[in-house]
Structure 1
């Protein structure tokens, strides 16, 4: 990160609002605001955020940086969605730690002070109207009884879902998972395929895509039907398992010449065949 100062040297209006981050509405700003405050291109702010997310723990990243979108009109007048992040106070401090310079320091101090003010206001606030916070009106006995009954019903529904899901998860972990190959292991069976470029090949085939954090993800239409994603929180890495339909898809791409090959290799004809068995 380079030294940065707002071009005007004037602190912009401090607009901190309650925004959703990891399922909670807390005081936050957006990456667009950070770009405006410090006179940076938004793309550079996104790059800096990705750098923070790569080095910080998964918990810190999810708790302080919420991926969102905003819309801008393109040259043809159509609205196009672009990525942005919603950032908490701690995320703001971590992100701007390397933004130096006298004016940058003033901007950071002003925003952190405003964050602290909002947190104090929220901590001391007892709303006259609980519904303004999306809560039931517990001052009304009928509404309070309804809210209590609904909470019990939701609790029972969640417990029922867990009771159904647990044996399924156990069966998958003990029976299915050991027999499912990882993407790397399966592609080793495809002679000549460049293992290091398989994910890039799947991106070109619109099966995978590159997420804002720079990692690869499976498009929803192929997730859990062709490929299963497993995220390891301890290492912050994602493993892809190839399901039977995914094995068929990879084999088809292989024979169609759509998987990047090692130097000196070419994809075989369709009649050669590839074994799917473990």
Structure 2
């Protein structure tokens, strides 16, 4: 993981749950519609984005925060829901570990930076 990310894409979610991406987009759109009274919350959980497909077209996708994944997973039942919950928990735990490791490497003051040189 070269670039530290704090979200996962709806494409990754589709792969994790074994569904087509258009189905995941539809699910997230419905969740956002249910949150019409909480639009600011919805925009913090599911961030509008795009990706480029193999033919170079720019297509819509969402970036899901950890809380967005949690909300999405509540809509799923059975084995797929459980597997998705485990997968996103592991992914975000991995991201948090990287964040902690990077913060330990960042000098907290100019004096500390000079000591590391």
| TM tier relative to shorter chain | 0.7 to 0.9
The structure carrying a bigger strand percent of its residues is 1
Larger relative contact order (Cα-Cα within 8 Å, sequence gap ≥ 6) = 2
Structure 1 residue runs of 5 or longer lacking an equivalent are 1-14, 20-26, 131-137, 141-278
1:128 corresponds to 2:106: yes
TM-score between both structures, scaled by the size of structure 2 = 0.74
Cα drift, residue 93 of structure 1? 1.0
1:92-129 deviation line (CA, Å, top 9, x unaligned) = 11112121222430331232143245335535723336
5+ residue gaps in structure 2?
A: 112-117
Normalized per residue, the structure richer in helix is: 2
| 1:114 aligned residue (70, 82, 91) | 91
Cα distance in 2 between the residues matched to 1:54 and 1:106: 26
Distance (whole Å) between structure 1 residues aligned to residue 49 and residue 34 of structure 2: 21
Task: Tell me the CA shift for residue 54 of structure 1.
Answer: 1.1
Number of residue-to-residue matches in the alignment: 107
- Which of the two has higher C-alpha Rg? 1
> RMSD over aligned Cα, in angstroms?
2.6
**C-alpha distance after superposition, 1:209-245 (max 9, x if no partner):** xxxxxxxxxxxxxxxxxxxxxxxxxxxxxxxxxxxxx
> Counterpart in 1 of 2:110?
139
- Give the TM-score taking structure 1 as reference length: 0.34
Does residue 87 in structure 1 map to residue 64 in structure 2?
Answer: yes
What's the offset of the Cα at 1:83? 0.4
Name segments (4+ residues, structure 1) moved above 4 Å. none
Residue 73 of structure 1 deviates from its aligned partner by 3.8
